[in-house]
Every structure is written in C-alpha cells, then in structure tokens.
Amino acid sequence: EVQLVESGGGLVQSGRSLRLSCVASGFTFDDYAMHWVRQVSGKGLEWVSGIGYNSASIGYADSVKGRFTISRDNAKNSLYLQMNSLRVEDTAIYYCAKGSNFGPNCFDPWGQGTRVTVSS
C-alpha cells in the first residue's frame, strides 16, 4: 500500500523558515515525480511545486518562486519543501502527492497533509 506521511508543519512567524518532509513507502520512490499541493482552510487546491523522479525537472508556482525550494532524497524515500520568507498567505494545509502511474503531473495518491500557520 502506498503511504505518504508529511511532517514539519507548525506555527511560525512571518519572515521565518520551515522545512516540510514527506516520507514515502509502498512504491519505488525514485520512479515517480512528486509534488506539493496546498489548501487554505475552506478554500480550493493550489499546486505549489513538483520535482521529477531524478530531480532534473523542477517547477514552482509563481506565488512561491524564489522563496520555496523542493528537493528529494531517493535513498531516504523522502521529499522536502524548504519554505523561506514565509508570509501570512502561506498559511495552509500542505499535501505531498505522488505523480500518478498514468502521468507524472497527475496526483495519486495524496498524503494526509501537514498544517502550516504563519502569524504576523
């Protein structure tokens, strides 16, 4: 069974940094692209960043470009999101999602998410 377990969320002040982690199991991690998607409470889904299976392909949403850095460690079956210069508007649940078997930029499955709260 595929499992994605996020961690690293919490309460942080505006301007500070936070590093999210996602540990994967149940599949060959280094065969798949991985993504971060966030959701503000009661709102819709926003793709944040994605990384190809070998880290050669990386993309970011404009809203986080230059502040967030995605990375992965295939030896540790882990995905990361380094979030710097955090803003109040970054407050959200952050989901880790696996690129699907049907295409790298389709998400299947998703982790349960980790909550990030940025205070002013």
Partner 1 sequence: DIVMTQSPATLSVSPGERATLSCRASQSVSSNLAWYQQKPGQAPRLLIYGAFTRATGIPARFSGSGSGTVFTLTISSLQSEDFAVYYCQQYDNWPPLTFGGGTKVEIK
Among residues 80, 84, 65, 112, the alpha carbon closest in space to that of 18 is found at 84
The nearest distance, CB 11 to partner 1, in angstroms, is 20
CA distances from 69 to 58, 64, 85, 102 (A): 9, 9, 12, 26
- Select 9 or 113, whichever has its Cβ closest to partner 1: 113
Tell me which of 29, 32, 60, 80 binds partner 1, using CB under 8 A.
60
CA pair distance 112, 87, nearest whole angstrom: 23
Minimum separation from the CB atom of position 33 to partner 1 (A)? 10
| Binding flags for partner 1, 13-42, as an x/- string (CB under 8 A) | ----------------------x-------
Site for partner 1 in 95-114 (CB under 8 A): 95, 100, 102-103, 105-113
3-state SS assignment for residue 83 = strand
| Of residues 80 and 113, the one with the C-beta less far from partner 1 | 113
CA 83 remoteness from chain centre? 10
Which residue spans within 40-120 are E strands per DSSP?
Answer: 45-51, 58-60, 68-73, 78-83, 92-100, 103-110, 114-119
Q: Does 66 bind partner 1 (CB under 8 A)?
A: no
Site residues (CB under 8 A) for partner 1? 35, 44-47, 50, 59-62, 95, 100, 102-103, 105-113
